[in-house]
Structure 1
Amino acid sequence: MTAAASALRSETDKDTGVAVVTLDRPARHNAIDPETAEQLAAVWREFRFDDSVRAIVLTGAGEKAFCTGIDRDTDVPQPGSPYSMDDPLLTIGPKANDLWKPVIAAVNGMACGGAFYLLGEAEFIIAAEHATFFDPHTTYGMVSAYEAILMAQRMPIGEVARMSLMGTAERISARRAYETGLVSEVTASAGLLKSATRAAEVIAACPTEPVQGTVRALWSAKEAARTQALAQAPHLIALGNLPPERQAGLFTGRSPGFRTR
């Protein structure tokens, strides 16, 4: 199956039961615009009913970026109340669409900001050696809520705090991400997709009902705390973000310097 538009590509190997979903906007560092968000939600829902798909690999086109979050050119009108907020990324992940087939993320470059909506709903992450992870929200006057909450399910809280609070000043290397538990394997760039696909094929070869039951059990272990935390996120964002005009000034006036660890 191949998506009709170019924002997303999805191909399934019927022999192995592995689908590869590719964010296909390399010129925009695979940032997510409304079209891409809709296609992601649609492909996860489609996989729920496609018994030929038993495991999924999620990656980004090119070598520069896995995903850099929401496309900065996207305009999302918001209600006037600080207690109401529309987030176009809330439904881009597999779990948000009630898909319990295992998803392996293959990170091939930068993963930042809204990319954590996807990484937070993958079963595990394999990263290329040049991959980096960072969260720019606070640098540009925005609260890191959903991203920080999702990463707190995967990394020691101190590491999440450091990444979330230091913004663009620091990037986590693939090796450091492996050391903190965010990433389960680091591989050469050329072998990234092969490594992720090989792992997916092993999983897909197992009986599908026990696999999906195991995925659901793992998520049940942390779902209550996660759900409670995410329920607070819209209020934190609405009350903590700088006004859009002040955010824009920070985007245009800041130097891109950072350090990697």
Structure 2
Amino acid sequence: MSPRLDVDKETGVAVVTLDRPERLNAIDLATAAELAALWRALRFDDTVRAVVLTGAGSRAFSTGLDRDAVVPQPSSPYSQDDPLIAVGPKANDLWKPVIAAVAGMACGGAFYLLGEADFVIAEEDATFFDPHTSYGMVSAYESVLLAQRMPYGEVARMVLMGNAERVSAQRAYEVGLVSEVTGPGRALEAAVRCATVIAGYPTEGVQGSVRALWAAQEATRERGWAQAPHLIALGNLPDERQAELFGNRARTAPRVR
């Protein structure tokens, strides 16, 4: 079952783990619903004052939406349903701080989660990329969230280069997506250490600060969100063509920068 929740009531830190390592922690529809419910439940758990979000295994934090997920869509471009729109903590009104610990790949729909984390810690071999354009898909929600963390040119390059290029943890640190780079197997430990410090502070001041920081970005995000549904509806290739491109994706190793 994914996600997994572990709470240390002594420190006030909860660790949320995407627990589908055999699927590179991809998010299916059941996992998306479980994540939304988990964030909302944590709003009412006063024993939890800070949260760490990570993925099981060393291969991936998450590769976004599971390719096997079937998401029926209405015909109107103004009524598109995005299955990941409510998987993040902020989308569920959780204002307790969330720190992401990343090992391995983080790509595509993973940015719904990383974009709503308050900061990101990554292991030195972590990589970040957005494959949407390679499969004839519009990167809309992901681009909006990334643009709140990285310079425009860096977001544009990640989005437009698709599968051909991956951003290293070091480069992600240099452009502001990542706040700390650790050695192998150390990101979770570093994130828990930060979360433990934050959980020791008065919770009202911490949550108020998180809410204020998010408020500073909301106007821009909401404008981007409003454009996303019909851009996706107009720009995405049909599902069968996307599947063909996915099946024929290049087998050469992507460049890491």
Smaller-chain TM-score range? over 0.9
What are the superposed Cα offsets for residues 196-249 of structure 1, whole Å, 9 maximum, x if unpaired? Answer: 000000100000000000001111111111111111111110111011111111
Equivalent position of 1:3 in the other structure: none
Equivalent position of 1:109 in the other structure: 104
Q: Secondary structure at the match of 1:190?
A: coil
Equivalent position of 1:119 in the other structure: 114
Residue 84 (str. 1) matches residue 79 (str. 2): yes
Segments of 5+ residues of structure 1 without an aligned counterpart are 1-5
**What letter corresponds to residue 260 of structure 1 in structure 2?**
V
Q: Secondary structure at the match of 2:7?
A: strand
Q: Secondary structure at the match of 1:202?
A: helix
What are the superposed Cα offsets for residues 149-168 of structure 1, whole Å, 9 maximum, x if unpaired? Answer: 10000000000000000000
**In the TM superposition, what is the alpha-carbon distance from 1:254 to its structure 2 partner?**
2.0
Residue 24 (str. 1) matches residue 11 (str. 2): no
**In the TM superposition, what is the alpha-carbon distance from 1:191 to its structure 2 partner?**
1.6
Contact 2:103 2:185 in 1 (8 A): no
Residue 72 (str. 1) matches residue 64 (str. 2): no
Query: When the two structures are aligned, how many residues end up with a matched partner?
Result: 256
Q: Secondary structure at the match of 1:19?
A: strand
TM-score by length of 2: 0.98
Contact 1:168 1:256 in 2 (8 A): no
1:136-215 paired onto structure 2 within 5 Å: 136-215=131-210
**In the TM superposition, what is the alpha-carbon distance from 1:175 to its structure 2 partner?**
0.4
Q: Secondary structure at the match of 2:186?
A: helix
CA distance in structure 2 between the partners assigned to 1:83 and 1:225 by the alignment? 19
Of the structure 1 ranges 190-199 and 134-143, higher mean CA displacement relative to structure 2 is found in: 190-199
Contact 2:60 2:104 in 1 (8 A): yes
Segments of 5+ residues of structure 2 without an aligned counterpart are none
TM-score by length of 1: 0.97
**What letter corresponds to residue 37 of structure 2 in structure 1?**
A
User: Percent of pairs identical after alignment?
Assistant: 71
Q: Secondary structure at the match of 2:185?
A: helix
Contact 1:58 1:106 in 2 (8 A): yes
Residue 259 (str. 1) matches residue 252 (str. 2): no
**In the TM superposition, what is the alpha-carbon distance from 1:39 to its structure 2 partner?**
0.9
Question: 4+ residue stretches of structure 1 with deviation over 3 A?
Answer: none
CA distance in structure 2 between the partners assigned to 1:213 and 1:81 by the alignment? 38
Equivalent position of 1:227 in the other structure: 222
**In the TM superposition, what is the alpha-carbon distance from 1:190 to its structure 2 partner?**
2.1
Q: Secondary structure at the match of 1:199?
A: helix
What are the superposed Cα offsets for residues 26-85 of structure 1, whole Å, 9 maximum, x if unpaired? Answer: 000000001110110011001100111000000000000000000000010111222221
